[in-house]
Structure 1
């Protein structure tokens, strides 16, 4: 049986618009933070500016991934290109792990140093407060767009921005403590940023691995079974297989029907099954195999 289209043009434009705005915002924030880090020699600020730069790269990768994932199926990719979003999210994980390792290395170096020349003042704190507001808006906007479009790439980026928001709070606390005479607070703030990044990479990796290994989405099989079983003419169903590719879901199943039904009636029942399932999952791609069920009489 045929299914609905892969990615609507409206869905695609929404993803691209959010991704483009986020790329611009990430670049501007990263530049401002890096200049501030250079002027203050704050490890926490370097960690924040680097994290923002990683976010900018991540959103750019998501931007490219969304463009490719939205392409229709072809002879070489007959299930579409949605898996590219999972690959993009995997790339973001490696970026996060690499940058977190760099922060940890520099934190150890500074702990071992006798003195560190810090030039932290209230202008740096003001920069971080402004960044905090922007990052809160970005996290909310990206999360909303990810839910509306079902994009794994946007979901990964929204998690990055939420951690940026938490990072900024920790860095502000560290900067304030440093200006009050506690220089080690700058290192602890940087370590907090590294810890958040590692936690993000771990959580993101679970979703990506599930997608790349075709793990069935939780609860979907049960809902589909209940919905299909309620369709008039369906005697039983089995061999249900469901997998995800980016924002798309693909399902195969065998449907048992009365062996006495003619082909037209069988086709009508399969159409009704698709309509019923699409009320729950509008973009699910469905392949049904009808099986005749003979009575014992």
Structure 2
């Protein structure tokens, strides 16, 4: 497991790479799109502009989320990453609307002849390759650091790969058929893909702001850990889980035999906590110890040797 300083450094580097990549692609797409008078290529430049803004937000959020807890934020600053991901989703929706608006206007007023198709195709191919490589790197870093903001940025860029390939296909179709109306039609197709990406980001980022529980597979790991210790306690209940940025918050009530010493209960809770942290990194875990309300026979049967005073 990466240590907190390593996590923060990796997240900062990945976010900075996204900013640099998007800046270069904006300049290339906008220059070529204006030269070609292609609404689909210009729409891709607009999309990259939104990507740049999203990358800046991601960079800012991963920096802020790395700050330690303070008097005003007792659970840390992790949720700023969820806020950033939600803002990214809104920006993507806005970009899609602007592309559709411009494409529909082109369909109504007609499209001019598109020139320099080769240059446009080259830029789209370069954009698809660059965004694929950067998004793959961001996804790898997001998986290692459990960063919602980087995951959102990576998914955003991965969508750009598909849209760039779509625009490239449109330019090739125009080259082969000479039908320029294909340009705004492909632009609308790009916008629909962008809307899907925005919805996916909303589900990834926004719902964690509402303190939804951890995914079922992660909670199953907690139950697996508890099963390893089932002969040392009576039962556990009131399991609550949530996520703040890359930090998982887990708490539960653990019912132990009433004869168990405080020291033994403390040791048991630390062992359980360590095992959960091993399978779910970056977890903050609180175990509340409760004495068994049953009779001594029940306590003895459940835990005959552990911590009896």
What TM-score, normalized to structure 1? 0.94
Aligned length: 293
Contact 2:17 2:134 in 1 (8 A): no
Q: Deviations over 1:86-111 (max 9, x none)?
A: 11011111111111111111111111
Q: Deviations over 1:190-218 (max 9, x none)?
A: 11110111000111111223201111122
> In the alignment, what sits opposite 1:223?
221
Contact 1:255 1:288 in 2 (8 A): yes
What secondary structure does 1:266 align onto?
helix
Residues of 2 paired with 1:227 and 1:115: CA distance?
63
Shift of 1:294: 4.2
> In the alignment, what sits opposite 1:212?
209
Shift of 1:53: 1.1
What secondary structure does 2:243 align onto?
strand
> In the alignment, what sits opposite 1:19?
15
Contact 2:61 2:84 in 1 (8 A): yes
> In the alignment, what sits opposite 1:153?
149
What secondary structure does 1:33 align onto?
helix
Does residue 1:190 correspond to 2:187, yes or no? yes
Does residue 1:85 correspond to 2:75, yes or no? no
Residues of 2 paired with 1:109 and 1:127: CA distance?
24
Give the aligned CA root-mean-square deviation in angstroms.
1.6
Structure 1 residues 124 and 284: CA distance shift in structure 2, 3 A: same
Structure 2, unpaired ranges of 5+: 297-309
> In the alignment, what sits opposite 1:143?
139
Greater CA deviation, 239-248 or 111-120? 111-120
Structure 1, unpaired ranges of 5+: none
Contact 2:239 2:250 in 1 (8 A): yes
Which stretches of structure 1, 4 residues or longer, exceed 4 Å deviation after superposition? none
| Aligned counterparts, 1:255-274, within 5 A | 255-274=254-273
Residues of 1 paired with 2:51 and 2:160: CA distance?
9
Q: Deviations over 1:105-127 (max 9, x none)?
A: 11111111144243242122122
> In the alignment, what sits opposite 1:169?
165
| Aligned counterparts, 1:1-297, within 5 A | 8-180=4-176, 181-219=178-216, 220-231=218-229, 233-297=232-296
Structure 1 residues 56 and 114: CA distance shift in structure 2, 3 A: closer
Residues of 2 paired with 1:185 and 1:114: CA distance?
11
Contact 1:227 1:276 in 2 (8 A): yes
Q: Deviations over 1:115-171 (max 9, x none)?
A: 424324212212222222212211211111111111000000111111111111111
What TM-score, normalized to structure 2? 0.91
Contact 2:111 2:180 in 1 (8 A): no
What secondary structure does 1:204 align onto?
helix
